[in-house]
Amino acid sequence: MLSQFFNPRNYPIVVAIEFGITFSACAYAYAQDDREVINITSWPKQSIQYPKTPTLNLYKKDDPENKLLAWGWRAKKEALRPLARRFTLYRYKLHLDENQQSSPLDVDISVLEAISHYLDAFHEYVVGEIMRGFAKNFQRDHFRYCLTVPAMWSDRGKNVMRQAAVKANLIKDTDHPDRLMLISDSEAAALYCERKCDQFNPGNGDRYMICNVGDEIVELTVFEIAVTTAGRRLSEVTKGHSASCGSVSLDRHMRRLLEEKFGHHAPNFPANIIPNIVDTFANVIKPQFDGIEDQFLLLPPSRCFEDLEDPEAVGISDGYMVLTAAELEENVFEPFIKDMLSLIQEQLTESKDCGAIFLVGDFGSSKYLYSRVKAQFSSQVGLISIPPCPELAVVRGAVYAGLNPRVATSRIARRCYGISSDQPFEKGKDPLAKRKFELNRVWCIDRFSPYVKRGQKVNVDECISREFSFTKYSEAPKDYRIALYATDTDNEPPRYTTDAGVFKLAEIPIPYPHLPSSRLGSLVKVKVNMNFGLNEIKAEAVVGDKVYSAIIRFDAVNVY
């Protein structure tokens, strides 16, 4: 379609959604007052004081329509009902990470459908809450959105989130693309920390690391501040690192410790006993463990503990289990902490002169994590800090990004990108199998025409252009399709799109305008402008005197 102008003033309410693997959150603000960011902290059927709601979908078994019965806390409660003919979907966001080896969903629901079902219900509730507050005089059409995504996600994964937002009625397919903005979790957290940490007043060129410790994923990225006449601006220094070693691994370690303690009795316990104990550990002990004090874990009421030969031998007394600081440290926390320290050191080695480390995310408030990071790195880094409400750093930072989309000035390309093109055939260099004769010239097909290299710093407003030509074979031709390719190589860009490690990422349909001056068989020139500095790839095509917003079709290649 022809390029449109986006006017943010048409959307005075900015809504940020952090769609997480295990929990999701929402915050919003009025664009005219960026000092007040409001979090949704009350959720349906909420069972604990926590500003997020579980990312859970509940469905009825054997329902051909797969209608969502419940979501969030309600879904978690309903799933505990005995003999209920229902099933729960959880952790399905992991299927959008191409680096994860996730087994297919065991139900006839696609990942796109699961996400859109959840977002639809989540969004309906959120809109109701917002419009009961200061936004009661606005309509839904006045909202614009900022969705957070992991920094390491592929372009396809990000595109699925955009599709899900459309299916969930956050935006319409006909809306300007900028009504929905995607931002990486790390970048959102970086904006939050830069604003909200009183101890941190960065100057021009200062660098700091965001250590986002989620339940399932850990992300680390170093950013640099530039002080301009328009205010502080942010740029990525490293392409970051993501690892599947989130704090949920502590729960697995805790489960193993419990099974060791209970020994041969554990397999005979009711099925919900050990999971309930692990839940209590995760909600009560895990966040506030400091490595010094012993912990008292409240056990669920059950006769199974009475069958133990010697309850005191495993630390059970008066309905509690005593866990010493030493055994928790050695068996539960340290395996995870050692991985974290190693990841932080890698980022510090890659980026010199890092002046601060911020711990954010669901486990970012951990006293034990903070003490270990401080002990290990205080000699290398001037400030190691936990910002206020670290579990909300991502979603609140996403609001700041929505209010000021250009605060980030550059990002690091995660892949090498290029498009397939025909280029002049080079005898002795190109194989005969790729030779093509057309318009009295000899061409080489399948050439990889690079736009950016992996690891290259790309400015957010940087438009990279390439000019191409195609042959007019008909007076009413169809769209001309350009294939976008990518590779994860750190070496020089490949020569051909058929080289090992190169894969087709998407198709870009270029509308063919009416060009009465061009003859059949003649070459028509097209300039393709692409922007890789945003969190999504944007493209536009210039054909003749027309400029078109090109829709990148990832679903033409792969469907989740």
The per-residue DSSP string of 281-339 comes to: IIIIIHHH--SSS-EEEEPPP-GGGGG-S-GGGGTEETTEEEE-HHHHIIIIIHHHHHH
Whether residues 55 and 132 share a domain: the answer is yes
Under DSSP, the state recorded for 138 is: S
Which pTM was predicted?
0.82
Give 4 or 216, the one with higher predicted confidence: 216
Q: Is 398 within the bounds of a domain?
A: no
Same domain, residue pair 367 and 422:
no
CATH for 121: 3.30.420.40
User: Strand, coil or helix: what is 541?
Assistant: strand
CATH of the domain at 514: 2.60.34
Spatial distance between the Cα atoms of 344 and 546, rounded to a whole number of angstroms: 49
Q: Which of 14-28, 118-132, 221-235, 321-335 has the lowest mean pLDDT?
A: 221-235
Round to whole Å and give the CA distance between 363 and 369: 8
Number of separate domains in the chain? 3
- pLDDT per residue over 352-385, tens digit each? 889 999 999 999 999 999 999 999 999 999 999 9
Same domain, yes or no: 263 and 347: yes
142, 162, 185: which is the final residue of a domain?
Answer: 185
Q: Are residues 266 and 379 in the same domain?
A: yes
Residue that terminates a domain, selected from 185, 215, 237: 185
Q: Do 422 and 316 share a domain, yes or no?
A: no
| 264-298 tens-digit pLDDT | 888 989 888 999 999 899 988 998 999 999 999 99
More confident call, 548 vs 555: 548
Asked which of 351, 386, 421 is the last residue of a domain, the reply is 386
Residue 345 included in any domain: yes
Q: How far is CA 225 from the centre of its chain?
A: 22
Confidence class for position 560, pLDDT limits 50, 70, 90: very low
Domain assignment present for residue 444? The answer is: yes
Do 23 and 133 belong together in one domain?
yes
Q: Are residues 432 and 330 in the same domain?
A: no
Range of the domain at 102: 8-185
> Is the Cβ–Cβ distance between 52 and 183 less than 8 Å?
no
- For the cut 80, the answer to whether the pLDDT of residue 107 exceeds it is no
Give domain status of residue 492, yes or no.
Answer: yes
Task: Find the DSSP H helices in 80-225.
Answer: 111-131, 155-167, 185-196
For residues 151 and 266, state if they share a domain: no
Are 372 and 227 contained in the same domain? yes
pLDDT at 475 over 90: no
Distance CA 27, CA 143 (A): 12
Same domain, 33 and 105: yes
The verdict on 180 and 295 lying in the same domain is no
Could you tell me if residue 15 is inside a domain?
yes
pLDDT recorded at residue 2 = 47
Residue 61 tokens, joined: 């078994």
Please indicate, yes or no, whether residues 269 and 371 belong to a single structural domain of this protein.
Answer: yes
- Whether 399 is covered by a domain: the verdict is no
Residue 190 lies in a domain: no
Q: What are the Cα distances from residue 165, in Å, to 97, 466, 471, 545?
A: 18, 31, 38, 33
